[in-house]
Amino acid sequence: MWLISLRDLEWRRRRFVIAVVATGLVFGITLLLSGMSSGFSNEVDRTVASFGADGWVVPKTASGPFTTSAAFPSSVANDVAQISGVHEASPMVLTRVTVPGSGGTPTDLVVFGTVIHGVGPRATTGRDPRRSGEIVTDTKLGRDVGQTVTIGGKRFTVVGTSDGRTVFAGEPTAVIPIQDARAISFADQPLATAVVTHGAPQGAPAGYRVLTTTQAAADLRRPLKSATGTISFLNVLLWIIAAGIIGSIVYLTVIERTRDFAVLKATGIASGALFLSLAIEAVVIALAAAIVATVIAVGLHSALPMRVEISTTSYGALAIIAVVVGILASLVGLRRAIGVDPALAFG
Amino acid sequence: MTDQQVGSTETTTTDPAVDASAARLEVRDLTIEYSSGGYTVRPIDKFQLDASGGELVLLLGASGCGKTTLLSVLAGILTPTAGSVRVGATQVIGLSGAALTEYRRKRVGIVFQAFNLLPSLTASENVQIPLRGTGVHARVARERALALLDRVGLAERVEHRPGDLSGGQQQRVAIARALAHDPPVILADEPTAHLDYLQVDSVIRLLRSLADGGRLVVVATHDDRLVPLADRLVNLTPRRETESRPPETSDLAAGQVLFEQGDAGELVYVVNSGTIDLVRTREDGTEELLVTVAPNGYFGELAPMFGLQRAATARAGSAAQVTGYTMRDFRAHHSGSVGDLLRGAVDATEGDV
């Protein structure tokens, strides 16, 4: 049945190309959306992992280290350091600021105030801040080492950079000494928004709780839950649209080939073979569309303002889903093909 | 319907691959009815046929007389209303599922009127399809296809698509396709209908050679050029009475049927006394009164005139007497032209029975 299917596709090549391009565009969009969704998830994992922390201590009333502005005395870090399992504990201040971006457009920046040489993110190029007025920024901010950033009226010199450490769907992060963060957010009061530890605390001071790295990541991921849910929903819709496109093409083919199917049945070709023929056509269209989609996604993903991270698994999954979509789409024409009366062959 | 043996079967060479017993065809009391416009039509009524391998059987008759319908039944594509069809040891009626598919594959090869080749495939691929569709290896299928195309004289055209072939060449490809599984019976539906006289020659010779090879070849046609090559003629059109014969007078009691819808029609009837109701049976079994014919009126003229079956039942509405005439005698006594006759039929509101 390969022969009939491939020859028919060749025979109706213009329609085949249209179907492949249309379905490829849809598949391409699903790949990009999946890449966006993966980007949201991966940025959380990268940013949380950059702290190298084993535990996150926050007030019991706080939702987590990244989504609360509840402050508490920095001295709690000393109490945490005494808890069994903790090798090192450092207070941290998280604050969100706006800095002038390229072209004067304001850019949101999430700033982590950490203890110099304490527990916290490390620069991937350059060096970490050693004194007040130094900052490590993510490359997404567009500042190179040696340039300056003004936060809350204070000029910071970029001494190092990181890459891919963004939060909340692409907001860049920065690391400054904790005393500078306190000056910006708490008027130099000795406060913190979280305590990060090396070593997993076996308990927490009264009124506080310990979050694992996974729980901390979940806290950072939570604000994007509705966005990722919407993307997943859109992806399902797009798969259905792709199946609809292929199904329509297959159905049109069946209508046009009614006489052919009648002849095949009259000459003893089993219904199963007819289904196989249709399924092969649909799957070939879907797989060709998957290739087009891959080209589109590879070509466009870096041009999008948001970080789109399409994994190898996603490409593999697309191929599998394309086969499933193709088979489902061929079912649309199957009933009609099987229902063709072979007597039609006699005209 | 007439079944006429045209001399002995002149089998010159018998293909040893064809089992003569497998090509034996027996049709018994075959009746086919179908619905048309809300009425039940019975083109084939208690049809009988016996034929053997090596014979070329022609099914003759006007359009609509049931030739193609009969072929469909022989091909296992249409289930008849009643009767039996046996091909070799296989009782065709009642086959279903895999057994029916196997019958269509291996026991009969079909040649269609409009060739019905797949336009996207080459000649070779069209012949390969029945084989590859049943799991035959591609290489074996191709070798078989090339051999068959060589046999039908198309060895040089194997890679051409149907659109690049003449009608005669396409029909020869169709014949090669029908031979793919080497079936003992070949059924051909109007194989010369779309061919000019140059193309007809090769197709006719090919069909004859298939029969000479030991196969049974059944051809539905109204092409008289095939008649001299046939071993058996089956005329599916009711025989028209062309000779003069004495009028037949019948006395009918009220409700008595003179003839049934679907019967062969030989005589035109004139009502001498009483009334005759012409009724047509609908698909659901109910009857529709078409017209009541009064004394001196006539009915039943179209069936004998055109060799059609009775399109309605004639039943006495009251005690009646009718006289039946052959068409020749009726026209001798009828003062009007044929046109007047037909108009009379139309005026009688479909009393054209």
pLDDT digit string (tens) for B129-180?
999 888 889 999 999 999 999 988 899 999 999 999 998 899 999 999 999 9
Closest of A287, A284, A280, A290 to residue A337, by C-alpha? A280
Which residues sit opposite A156 in a β-bridge?
A149
Q: What is the mean pLDDT of residues B289-314?
A: 85
Inter-chain CB proximity B121 and A4 less than 8 Å: yes
Confidence of residue A306 (pLDDT cuts 50, 70, 90): confident
CA distance A267 to B118: 13
The reply to whether A11 touches chain B by the CB within 8 Å rule is yes
Residue length of chain B: 353
Burial of B220 (C-beta count, 10 Å sphere; 0-12/13-18/19+): buried
Closest of B266, B269, B271, B270 to residue B243, by C-alpha? B266
Start-to-end Cα distance in chain B: 18
Taking 70 as the threshold, does the pLDDT of residue A147 lie above it? yes
Taking 60 as the threshold, does the pLDDT of residue B17 lie above it? no
Task: Check: CB of residue A55 under 8 Å from CB of residue A179.
Answer: no
CA distance B144 to B137: 11
Which residues sit opposite B57 in a β-bridge?
B218, B232
Inter-chain CB proximity B68 and A346 less than 8 Å: yes
- SS3 for chain A is CHHHHHHHHHHCHHHHHHHHHHHHHHHHHHHHHHHHHHHHHHHHHHHHHHCCCCEEEEECCCCCCCCCCCCEECCHHHHHHCCCCCCEEEEEEEEEEEEECHHHCEEEEEEEEECCCCCCCCCCEECCCCCCCEEEEEHHHCCCCCCEEEECCEEEEEEEEECCCEECCCEEEEEEEHHHHHHHHCCCCCEECEEEEECCCCCCCCCEEEECHHHHHHHHHHHHHHHHHHHHHHHHHHHHHHHHHHHHHHHHHHHHCHHHHHHHHHCCCCHHHHHHHHHHHHHHHHHHHHHHHHHHHHHHHHHCCCCCCCCHHHHHHHHHHHHHHHHHHHHHHHHHHHCCCHHHHHC
The reply to whether B43 touches chain A by the CB within 8 Å rule is no
Which residue in this structure is represented by tokens 């006429």?
A: B4
Tens of pLDDT, residues B58-95? 998 877 788 889 999 999 988 999 999 999 989 999 88
| Cβ density class B52-84: b for 16+ within 10 Å, e for less | bbbbbbbbbbeeebbbbbbbbbbbbbbebeebe
Q: What is the mean pLDDT of residues A295-320?
A: 86
Inter-chain CB proximity B113 and A347 less than 8 Å: yes
pLDDT score of A246 = 86
CA distance A176 to A116: 9
Residue B27 φ then ψ, to 5°: -115, 130
The alpha-carbon gap from B9 to the nearest alpha carbon of chain A, in Å, equals 28
Three-state DSSP class for residue B119: coil
Task: Check: CB of residue A155 under 8 Å from CB of residue A133.
Answer: yes
Question: In the structure encoding, which two tokens stand for residue A214, read together?
Answer: 């996974």
Inter-chain CB proximity A346 and B118 less than 8 Å: no
Tens of pLDDT, residues A104-121? 788 899 999 999 999 999
Average pLDDT, chain A: 90
CA distance A175 to A134: 9
The reply to whether A305 touches chain B by the CB within 8 Å rule is no
Residue B348 φ then ψ, to 5°: -80, 15
Average pLDDT, chain B: 83
| Cβ density class A187-222: b for 16+ within 10 Å, e for less | eeeebbbbbbbbbbbeebbeebbbbebebbbbbbbe
pLDDT score of B158 = 93
Question: How are beta strands A134-138 and A154-162 bridged, if at all?
Answer: parallel
Inter-chain CB proximity A268 and B177 less than 8 Å: no
The alpha-carbon gap from A287 to the nearest alpha carbon of chain B, in Å, equals 22
pLDDT score of B7 = 39
CA distance B267 to B301: 7
Inter-chain CB proximity B129 and A11 less than 8 Å: no
Inter-chain CB proximity A268 and B133 less than 8 Å: yes
Taking 70 as the threshold, does the pLDDT of residue B15 lie above it? no
The reply to whether B132 touches chain A by the CB within 8 Å rule is yes
The alpha-carbon gap from B54 to the nearest alpha carbon of chain A, in Å, equals 22
Among B116, B125, B126, most A C-beta atoms within 10 A, so best to mutate, is B116
Confidence of residue B343 (pLDDT cuts 50, 70, 90): low
Which residue in this structure is represented by tokens 């048309």?
A: B36
Task: Check: CB of residue B170 under 8 Å from CB of residue B149.
Answer: no
**Chain B residues in contact with A270 (beta carbon < 8 A):** 98, 101, 133
Inter-chain CB proximity A259 and B181 less than 8 Å: no
**Identity at A144, one-letter amino acid code:** D
The reply to whether A303 touches chain B by the CB within 8 Å rule is no
Closest of B353, B297, B298, B305 to residue B328, by C-alpha? B305
Question: In the structure encoding, which two tokens stand for residue B199, read together?
Answer: 């193309």
Taking 70 as the threshold, does the pLDDT of residue B333 lie above it? yes
Measured at the CA of B110, the angle between CA B134 and CA B205, to 5 degrees, comes to 125
CA distance B122 to B164: 9
Three-state DSSP class for residue B87: strand
CA distance B52 to B215: 8
- What's the DSSP call for residue B309? B
Task: Check: CB of residue A91 under 8 Å from CB of residue A192.
Answer: yes
Confidence of residue B250 (pLDDT cuts 50, 70, 90): very high
CA A69 to chain centre: 26
Inter-chain CB proximity A268 and B114 less than 8 Å: no
Identify the weakest region by mean pLDDT among A219-233, A298-312, B324-338. Answer: B324-338
Closest of A90, A84, A171 to residue A128, by C-alpha? A90
The reply to whether A116 touches chain B by the CB within 8 Å rule is no
Query: Chain A: residue nearest B118 by CA?
Result: A260
pLDDT score of B352 = 41
The reply to whether A268 touches chain B by the CB within 8 Å rule is yes
Confidence of residue B351 (pLDDT cuts 50, 70, 90): very low
Among B32, B70, B129, B173, most A C-beta atoms within 10 A, so best to mutate, is B129
Task: Check: CB of residue A138 under 8 Å from CB of residue A101.
Answer: no
Q: What share of chain B is helix, strand, coil (3-state, %, to 5)?
A: 30, 30, 40
Which residue in this structure is represented by tokens 């297959």?
A: A250
Radius of gyration of chain A (CA): 29
The reply to whether A272 touches chain B by the CB within 8 Å rule is no
| Cβ density class B267-290: b for 16+ within 10 Å, e for less | bbbbbeebbbbbbbbeeeeeeeeb
pLDDT score of B346 = 43
Identify the weakest region by mean pLDDT among B17-21, B250-254, B290-294, B301-305. Answer: B17-21
Which spans in B63-196 are helix H?
A: 67-74, 97-106, 123-132, 138-151, 167-178
ipTM of the complex: 0.74
Task: Check: CB of residue A211 under 8 Å from CB of residue A297.
Answer: no
Q: What is the mean pLDDT of residues B229-248?
A: 78
Inter-chain CB proximity A4 and B129 less than 8 Å: yes
Task: Check: CB of residue A195 under 8 Å from CB of residue A77.
Answer: yes
**Chain A residues in contact with B119 (beta carbon < 8 A):** 11
The reply to whether B114 touches chain A by the CB within 8 Å rule is yes
Among B101, B124, B126, B142, most A C-beta atoms within 10 A, so best to mutate, is B101
Instruction: Give, to the nearest 10 degrees, the angle between helix A2-11 and helix A271-300.
Output: 50
Which residue in this structure is represented by tokens 């249409």?
A: B78
Question: How are beta strands B216-221 and B90-91 bridged, if at all?
Answer: unpaired
Task: Calculate the dihedral angle through the C-alpha atoms of A287, A289, A293, A299, rounding to the nearest 10 degrees.
Answer: 110
Question: How are beta strands B320-325 and B287-293 bridged, if at all?
Answer: unpaired
Which residue in this structure is represented by tokens 């009857």?
A: B287
**Chain A residues in contact with B118 (beta carbon < 8 A):** 4, 7, 260, 263
